[in-house]
Chains A and B, each alone.
Chain A
Amino acid sequence: DIVMTQSPDSLAVSLGERATINCKSSQSVLYSSNNKNYLAWYQQKPGQPPKLLIYWASTRESGVPDRFSGSGSGTDFTLTISGLQAEDVAVYYCQQYYVTPLTFGGGTKVEIK
């Protein structure tokens, strides 16, 4: 199984500042034949289901604010929230879909400082 490791477990960021969340996979999720990284990011607020933010590591889902961006390739990925808003308080998860079983990171909790 591909193990997804997120860091940090939690972080507190001032409103308007940048939040950076890291996700590392135990093996590459880059598919060489199409040069795509099989990685997605989700946001989960308390009492709600996860919401898809980004897929293919950097493609923003329709309707997701452009302050959310994804980057990285191979085994190391980053979700950046540029200009944290109060409504961004949530737990963020990465997920690989390179192979089954599909696996998720342990989550990163983002709070306001």
Chain B
Amino acid sequence: QLQLQESGPGLVKPSETLSLTCTVSGGSVTSSSYFWGWIRQPPGKGLEWIGSIYFSGSTYYNASLKSRVTISVDTSKNQFSLRLSSVTAADTAVYFCARCPVITAAMGRGWFDPWGQGTLVTVSS
């Protein structure tokens, strides 16, 4: 059974870079059938897609965050990672990683299943 687990600092200072890693177990990030995505949820609010990556390194980002986001994949560790630069309090959220199926003629687009448990990242000095 595929499982995803987010890890990283729970507290980041304003203007610094948020870095999170998602470790995949029970499956491989090199599967040609899936993308791997990051989604966030501010406390008490809705869901926002940050971006997704394919094992080849192809990335798809939300334009609203694109200038600050980098998603990468480490196939040797079966992990993928998120970096979000120049954070502010508005970036405080629970960050989820999740798997997304490859859909023909819809690269980078799909539903998310399963999800990691999520990790709360607070931006504060």
Which positions in A face B, CB cutoff 8 Å? 33, 38, 40, 42, 48-52, 55, 61, 93, 95, 97-107
A-B residue pairs in contact (CB < 8 Å), sample of 27: A33-B105, A38-B106, A42-B112, A49-B117, A49-B118, A50-B47, A50-B112, A50-B115, A52-B111, A52-B112, A52-B114, A93-B46, A95-B111, A97-B106, A97-B109, A97-B110, A97-B111, A100-B49, A100-B60, A100-B109, A101-B49, A101-B62, A101-B64, A103-B49, A104-B46, A106-B46, A107-B47
A-B contacts, CB under 8 A, total: 59
Residues of A within 8 A of B111 (CB): 40, 52, 55, 95, 97
Residues of A within 8 A of B109 (CB): 38, 97-100, 102
Decide yes or no whether B48 CB sits under 8 A from chain A. yes
Q: C-beta contact mask, B82-125 vs A, less than 8 Å → 1, else 0? A: 00000000000000101000010110111111111110000000
Q: Kindly state the separation between the CA atoms of A101 and B62 in the bound complex, as whole angstroms.
A: 5
Q: Given contacts A100-B108, A101-B64, is CB(A52)–CB(B113) below 8 Å?
A: yes
List the B residue with the shortest CB-CB distance to A41.
B111
Interface contact A100-B103, CB-CB below 8 Å: no
Interface contact A49-B115, CB-CB below 8 Å: yes
Q: Kindly state the separation between the CA atoms of A105 and B106 in the bound complex, as whole angstroms.
A: 20
Interface contact A104-B48, CB-CB below 8 Å: yes
Q: Kindly state the separation between the CA atoms of A101 and B48 in the bound complex, as whole angstroms.
A: 9
Which 10 residue pairs are nearest across A and B when measured between Cβ atoms?
Answer: A49-B115, A52-B113, A40-B111, A102-B49, A104-B47, A101-B62, A97-B109, A55-B111, A106-B46, A97-B110
Contact pick for A101, options B63, B103, B112, CB 8 Å: B63
List the B residue with the shortest CB-CB distance to A95.
B111
Contact pick for B113, options A61, A99, A105, CB 8 Å: A61
Quick one: which of B111, B116, B117 has the most chain A CB within 10 A? B111
Q: Kindly state the separation between the CA atoms of A45 and B26 in the bound complex, as whole angstroms.
A: 24
List the B residue with the shortest CB-CB distance to A105.
B46
Least CB distance, B93 to chain A, in whole angstroms: 13
List the B residue with the shortest CB-CB distance to A96.
B109
Least CB distance, B1 to chain A, in whole angstroms: 12
List the A residue with the shortest CB-CB distance to B103.
A97
